Amino acid sequence: MAETHSLQDLRQAAVASKVFVQRDYTSGTICKFQTKFPAELESRIDKQQFEETIQTLNNLYAEAEKLGGRSYLEGCLACLTAYTIFLCMETHYEKVLKKIAKYIQEQNEKIYAPLGLLLTDPIERGLRVVEITIFEDRSIGSR
Among 57, 129, 132, 134, binds another protein (CB under 8 A): 129
Is 52 a binding residue for another protein by CB under 8 A? The answer is no
**Which value, to the nearest 10 degrees, does the dihedral of the CA atoms of residues 38, 41, 42, 43 take?**
170
Question: Is residue 83 near another protein by the rule CB under 8 A?
Answer: yes
Dihedral angle sign, alpha carbons of residues 29, 33, 35, 40: positive
Q: How many residues bind another protein (CB under 8 A)?
A: 55
What's the rounded Cα separation, in Å, for the pair 72 and 40?
A: 42
| Alpha helices, DSSP H, located in 1-143 | 5-12, 47-64, 69-80, 92-107
Q: For another protein, which stretch binds (CB under 8 A), given 8-16, 43-51, 52-60?
A: 8-16
Interface residue list for another protein (CB under 8 A): 4, 7, 10-11, 14-15, 18, 20, 23, 25-29, 64-67, 71-72, 74-76, 78-79, 82-84, 86-87, 90-94, 97-98, 101-102, 105, 108-109, 113, 118, 120-121, 123-129, 131, 133
